[in-house]
Amino acid sequence: MNNVGKNRIEVCYSPALYSYYRNDNAIVVVTDILRATTAICAAFENGVKNLIPVADLEEARELKNRGYLVAAERDGEVLDFADFGNSPFNFHPGQVRGKTIVYSTTNGTQAIRMASGAKHVAIGAFINQSALASWLREKDSDVLILCAGWKNRYNLEDTLFSGALSDILIGTGRFYTECDASVAAMELWKIAKMDITGFMEKAAHRHRLKKLGLDDVMEYCYTPDSTCAVPVLKDHMLVEHKWY
Amino acid sequence: MNNVGKNRIEVCYSPALYSYYRNDNAIVVVTDILRATTAICAAFENGVKNLIPVADLEEARELKNRGYLVAAERDGEVLDFADFGNSPFNFHPGQVRGKTIVYSTTNGTQAIRMASGAKHVAIGAFINQSALASWLREKDSDVLILCAGWKNRYNLEDTLFSGALSDILIGTGRFYTECDASVAAMELWKIAKMDITGFMEKAAHRHRLKKLGLDDVMEYCYTPDSTCAVPVLKDHMLVEHKWY
Q: Residue B224, class by beta-carbon neighbours within 10 Å (0-12 exposed, 13-18 middle, 19+ buried)?
A: middle
Share of chain A above pLDDT 90, in %: 76
Tell me what ipTM this predicted complex has: 0.94
* Angstrom distance (rounded) from CA A81 to CA A150: 23
CB A193 within 8 A of CB A164: yes
Indicate the fold that domain A7-236 takes in CATH.
putative 2-phosphosulfolactate phosphatase (3.90.1560)
Can you tell me the mean pLDDT for B34-49?
A: 95
Which of B26-30, B87-91, B232-236 has the lowest average pLDDT? B87-91
pLDDT score, position A229: 96
B192: nearest CA partner in chain A: A187
Instruction: Return the percentage of chain B with pLDDT > 90, whole number.
Output: 76
Q: Which of B192, B225, B233, B179 is nearest to B29 (CA)?
A: B233
> What residues of chain A have any CB closer than 8 angstroms to a CB in chain B?
13-14, 16-17, 20-21, 150-156, 159, 178-181, 183-184, 187-188, 191, 202-205, 207
At residue A212, does pLDDT exceed 70? Answer: no
Question: Could you tell me which CATH class the domain B7-233 is placed in?
Answer: alpha beta
| CB contact at 8 A, A96 and A191 | no
* pLDDT for A213: 65
Burial level of B244, CB count in 10 A (0-12/13-18/19+)?
exposed
pLDDT digit string, tens, across residues A140-162: 999 999 999 999 999 999 999 99
pLDDT at B218: 86
Residue spans of beta strands (DSSP E) within B87-154: 100-104, 120-124, 142-147
Domain limits, chain A: 7-236
For B91-139, what is each residue's pLDDT tens digit? 999 999 999 999 998 888 889 999 999 999 999 999 999 999 999 999 9
pLDDT tens across B142-191, in order? 999 999 999 999 999 999 999 999 999 999 999 999 999 999 999 999 99
Confidence bin at A244 (pLDDT 50/70/90):
low
Residues in B closer than 8 angstroms to A205, CB to CB, are: 180
A204 band by pLDDT with thresholds 50, 70 and 90: low
**Averaged confidence pLDDT in chain B:** 92
